[in-house]
Chain A
Amino acid sequence: MNEKIMNCFEIEEHLLDYVDNELAGSMQQVVAEHLQACLSCRKEVESYRKTAMLLQLRAVPEPPERYWDESWEKIRAGFKARVLPLAEKPLGVPPRSLRLQHVNWRPLVGVAAMFCIIVASALLWSWQSRSREIAAVAPQRIYMNPTPVVTVGRDDNFSDDMYRQMELVDAGRAAFGSIDPISKSVMLVRLEADRK
């Protein structure tokens, strides 16, 4: 009798590890044998298992699919506004797995087309502007400026309109941000010409 109480006390130390199946082989066996004979320890093990299961009751509801899209837009905008400019298009060499078999050319053609549009608008923009203004504006990267549209944090009324607005801002930024290298050379040539 006395021995059994001592035993339960000792066994209790190991019950949680037993539940997790983390006892060394021999000890796992000792506890298992004890549990077969001892109802109170068995109940204790059961109560831990049930507690763990009760926690599952707090299952997290799955948000609607559009939530993930909207969140991404907010994160992207927040990141661009606060941290660093992201590349507007996939950069550099595509990963090996993309290069040969899985290439879907359509988006690449799209990217090329976008690039042409961007270059064209960059040239157009730089020719239309006066050189002094270019000198003042061009070297600054526009996307480093804080964007007023963006709020990071709570925004329960994230409407489709804001979506569109952000896309417009982004499209503008794509054209404006990529102006740098080209306009720089144009600008230099013009400044050179102005000096003469």
Chain B
Amino acid sequence: MSTQVAFKMQVAKDSAGQYAGLPESDLITLAQQGDEFAFEALYRRFARTVYTVAHHMLGNHHDADEVMQEAFIRIFKNLSRLRSPQAITAWVYQITVNLCMDFRKARTRSRWEPLEGDEDRHSHFELATARWVRNPEQVLENKELLTHITAAIDSLPEQQKAVILLHEVEGVSKKMIAEILDCSLVTVRTNLHHARKKLRRKLLRYLNA
């Protein structure tokens, strides 16, 4: 039995590997026909995006993990409704962002607040891998700063938070953000400006250093 399972896993691995090179439009078509390897290839292509956005929005691995799983199940479930393959990136973002917002709302209702001792959020690992931080002394110095940045972002309304994280951190264009959040370009711009001004005010004392 175990050899059969191992064999099956090898077959799965080879086929998933072959699908990795296909264009998204082919993968979507195959997945719409129920092809599991196409689903997996789509997952491999978008998993990091979904995880990163969720992690930015929610601030920790556990919540990001939960949202990522739910996001992909919804993406796969509704894939047949996707008419244009070009829209998939915006759509993946959209599902992720909406889920994060729902997730936060559910948490807020039970008086969820950023936890003081949230290991994951401010772990040394996280600090050490941050792009700016190169050495351990800096890690400790920046811990306070990171706490403030996180608090400042958390204090933003969800819409503004989504806009600024997608734009400034993920580098998503304003046009695509408008698609993702299903709002006008003007709204994106306004939200982005508000968010930037608020964050700048809150982080002012770190900006002149």
Instruction: State the A residues within 8 Å of B (CB).
Output: 16, 20, 46-48, 50-63, 68, 71-72, 74-76, 78-79, 82-92, 95, 97-98, 102, 104, 106-107, 110-111, 114, 117, 152-154, 156, 164, 167-168, 170-171, 174
Among B14, B22, B149, point to the contact of A95 (Cβ < 8 A): B22
Interface size class of B (residues with CB under 8 A): 35 or more
Q: Is B98 an interface residue (CB 8 A)?
A: no
B36 adjacent to A87 (CB under 8 Å): yes
Determine the main DSSP class of A at the interface with B. helix
Number of cross-chain contacts by CB at 8 Å: 178
Instruction: State the B residues within 8 Å of A (CB).
Output: 1, 4-5, 7-11, 14-15, 18-19, 21-22, 26, 29-30, 33-40, 43-44, 47, 51-52, 55-56, 59, 61-62, 64-66, 68-70, 72-73, 76-77, 123, 125-126, 129-133, 142, 145-146, 149-150, 153, 164-165, 168-169, 174, 192-193, 196, 199-200, 203-204, 206-207
A75 adjacent to B43 (CB under 8 Å): yes
B130 adjacent to A57 (CB under 8 Å): yes
A98 adjacent to B142 (CB under 8 Å): no
B130 adjacent to A63 (CB under 8 Å): no
Q: For the complex formed, measure the closest distance between the CB of A109 and the CB atoms of chain B, giving whole angstroms.
A: 9
Bound Cα distance from A97 to B37, whole angstroms? 15
Among B15, B73, B146, B165, point to the contact of A79 (Cβ < 8 A): B73
Q: For the complex formed, measure the closest distance between the CB of A160 and the CB atoms of chain B, giving whole angstroms.
A: 13
Chain A residues with CB under 8 Å of B76's CB are: 75, 79, 83
